[in-house]
Structure 1
Amino acid sequence: MVTPRPEPTGERADLLASLDKHRGFLRYTVRGLTDDQAQQRTTVSELTLGGLVKHVAGVEERWMRFAIGGAEAMRSEGAPTDAGAWAEQFRMLPGETLDVLLERYRAVAEHTDGLVATLDLDAVHPLPSAPWFEPGAAWSVRRVLLHIVAETAQHAGHADILREALDGQRTMG
């Protein structure tokens, strides 16, 4: 028999509700797109709608690995290791479809939601060494979740602009 995971309450429920709201904006923004549309650049940037879905799923997955096991866990398994791999996380590659990217995002979200119900929000891990982090800084699991919410919201906004440039559809306005 599978033991049901506890339903988050209080702060955990609030964090997940906020994250789910922004995930929903992103998913709503790409509704009804073909794979060709999801791969299309609509601004001078390299961003595409499919690429944003792929990126946000990867970011959430990596930060949740950090929440469990720190910087070393974040670097493992599929983390971009060079400029080419970093750029690929923003693009739909040959053989990738929007449906497959959305399914992966759904699975990542489900995994995150399960972890939030059980992780110690006060647990702290040193951040990886990177020019954009203060040397020696550490983040709590709570701070990681807030970062994921912010990252998802920011990219949902980017997606809204890209979609409006593509076909005039808007998510948030």
Structure 2
Amino acid sequence: MQDTTNAATTAAAATATATDERADLLEALAKQRHFLRFTTRDLTDEQAGQRTTVSELCLGGLVKHVASVERHWADFILQGPSAMPDFTAMTEADFAKRAEEFRMLPGETLEGVLADYADVARRTDELVTTLPDLNASHPLPKAPWNEPGARWSARRVLLHMIAETAQHAGHADIIRESLDGAKSMG
């Protein structure tokens, strides 16, 4: 069983040091993180790695993926597109390696995956509270899904993190319900 109290306490502390818009962004992100983590409550490592649909997704893998995405986008806020891969130049081997973040690999534990996610969340929360300007922007990395020349501000990246986390929390809820009937809401 995992303790999500530390992550919630950390998010509350970060929100307390932020004001207005930053506090709203942190609160929204913390809420979606909670729903994602909540889907893993009381699971064994085996259950967290179990696929319940035709996709490769499992609960531990979704948490790993969201942590990876949040880590990369936080790096993007600080460093710009050099922090992200050039998706247009990725090979099949690169995509296969990247697909590993959607699965629990041998030796990985749910506790470890959740701890990594909590570390990523603390780093992002600190970034939100200390970033001098949410309007600071960078060109998006090269990717088939990004409009050439488009730029995102730190604010836009944070909104994307919130949306991505919410989307995957929904995926996680479906996987959990398929696994053992447990629901995050309702």
TM over 0.5: yes
* Secondary structure, counterpart of 1:125 in structure 2: strand
Would you identify which runs of 4 or more consecutive aligned residues in structure 1 move more than 3 Å? none
In structure 1, what residue type is equivalent to 2:155? R
Q: Which residue of 2 aligns with 1:162?
A: 175
Distance 1:48 1:73 in 2: 27
Q: Which residue of 2 aligns with 1:132?
A: 145
Deviation at 1:85, TM superposition (A): 1.2
Q: Which residue of 1 aligns with 2:22?
A: 12
1:97 to 98, 101, 109: 109
Any residues of structure 2 matched to 1:11-160 within 5 Å, and which?
11-75=21-85, 82-119=94-131, 120-160=133-173
Question: 1:105-124: per-residue Cα shift (whole Å, max 9, x none)?
Answer: 00100010000001120001
* Secondary structure, counterpart of 1:139 in structure 2: strand
Distance 1:141 1:37 in 2: 36
Moved more, 62-71 or 81-90: 81-90
Distance 2:43 2:118 in 1: 17
Distance 1:166 1:89 in 2: 20
Unaligned runs of 5+ in 1: none
Alignment RMSD: 1.8
Distance 2:49 2:64 in 1: 11
* Secondary structure, counterpart of 2:138 in structure 1: strand
% identity of equivalent residues: 65
More helix by share: 2
Distance 1:109 1:35 in 2: 21
Distance 2:175 2:168 in 1: 10
Distance 2:30 2:185 in 1: 15
How many aligned positions are there? 167
Question: 1:27-63: per-residue Cα shift (whole Å, max 9, x none)?
Answer: 1110100000001000111100000000000000000
